[in-house]
Structures are given as C-alpha cells and as structure tokens.
Amino acid sequence: MRKSIVLIVSLLFNAIFIYGISYANRIMFNNNFMIYLNKQEVVEENNLDNQENVQEEVNTTYNGESIEDIGKKMDILLAKTALEGLGEHISRSAITKSVNPYLVGGIILESTNCKIDCSIILKQCNNVSGLKGEPGCFGGSYKRYNSKEESITDLANFISKNYPNLDMQQPYKMYNSYGRNETWAFKVNKYMEELKRGR
C-alpha cells in the first residue's frame, strides 16, 4: 500500500512538472521571447555592417590624388635626407585624418630644415614638427619620439584635432594659434607648393 502511494505521488509530481514546463514554454512563445532574441542578433549583425561601412569611409584620396601618388611626389623632395622614403607615410597619416597632406609635408620641411641640413631634434629625437611634450628631447620641452613615423602621425593627429576642417588648415590662418609668425606661414606655403609640383 505504501509503495502504491509513493508511486502515485511520484507520477503526480512528474505530471505537474511536465505541465509546468509546457506552460512556461507557451508563455515564453506567446510573449515573443524567441523573437526578441532574434532581433538582438539582427542588431548585432547590423552593427557589424555599420562598422565595416565606417572603415570603408576612411579617406584614401585628397583632391582626387591617391595616398600613393602624393607619397611619390613627396619622396622626390625628401630624397637624400633623413626623411627619405617617408612620403607615403606622411600622405597616409594626413589623408586618413582628413588633413591636407601638403600642409603636413610643408610643416615638416619647415620645421626640420631638411632641404639644407636636418635639425638636431629630428636627428636625435625623431621630432619632425617641433611639437612639445613628454618625454622631453634632451630634457627640454620638445617631444622625443621612438620613430619619425610616430612623430608624423602625431603631427597629423594634432592638426586634425586643433584645425578640424580644410578651410582652417592654411598656414596664414594657423600661424598665430600654432605659435609661429608670418615668416613661418610663408615658408610652409612655399614648401607646400613644391610638394604639390613634386619638385
């Protein structure tokens, strides 16, 4: 008799348990829990598509000229200097940040004086632009970089942050806030024209 009661109670418990699971599944289905999860997956896929589109939108040209073509023109002027072969890096660092590549190149040529004899802060501290910061070059205020490429990228980032549109990226509009004078603007403009011509 006792075994029969235990068996009946056990069967009732199992029946209630199975009914409870079925009932819970019906509630979940009726309240679109599965659809909600699918929507999340679609959102994640859409986010990935958006990220890919953002990556595709990175600038690869400036006024119809490609990064590579501008880099080649710059390399003509940089040949046989401490900046030799860095034309494409200058071009890419600038264009991908929506910065005028000729402005970056012009500032570099004015700051380093490499058309005559490259400056000591370029030779010893890889500083292509005269930007200041830590760690200091020879303990001074000019920033020391691990490589010229790092310094070029930092200059492009600096211009992008402080002069965010192409209209502002002109030496004669920049020189006061950049901490320079009209002579600096004249020289940068001159180098920009030389870089555009590739000679």
- Which among 60, 93, 72, 64 has a CA at the least distance from the CA of 198? 72
What is the mean pLDDT of the segment spanning 11-34? 52
Q: Name residue, tokens 């109670």.
A: 9
Whether residue 151 contacts residue 158, with contact meaning beta carbons closer than 8 Å, is answered with no
Question: What is the pLDDT confidence band of residue 199, given thresholds at 50, 70 and 90?
Answer: confident
Tens digit of each residue's pLDDT (9 = 90 or more) over 154-179: 999 999 999 999 899 999 999 999 88
Mean pLDDT of the chain: 82
What is the mean pLDDT of the segment spanning 145-155? 98
Give, to the nearest 10 degrees, the angle between helix 101-112 and helix 67-78. 20
| Residue 42, token pair as written in the block | 């679609």
Tens digit of each residue's pLDDT (9 = 90 or more) over 52-66: 444 446 789 999 999
DSSP-assigned beta bridge partners for residue 62? 65
What is the pLDDT, as a whole number, of residue 40? 41
Tell me the C-alpha distance between 46 and 44, whole Å.
Answer: 5
Q: Is the dihedral of CA 84, 101, 195, 110 positive or negative?
A: negative
- Which among 115, 116, 5, 97 has a CA at the least distance from the CA of 59? 97
Domain 67-197, CATH 3.30.70 — does that match? no
Sequence spans of domains, the chain: 2-56, 67-197
On whether the pTM is more than 0.85, the answer is no
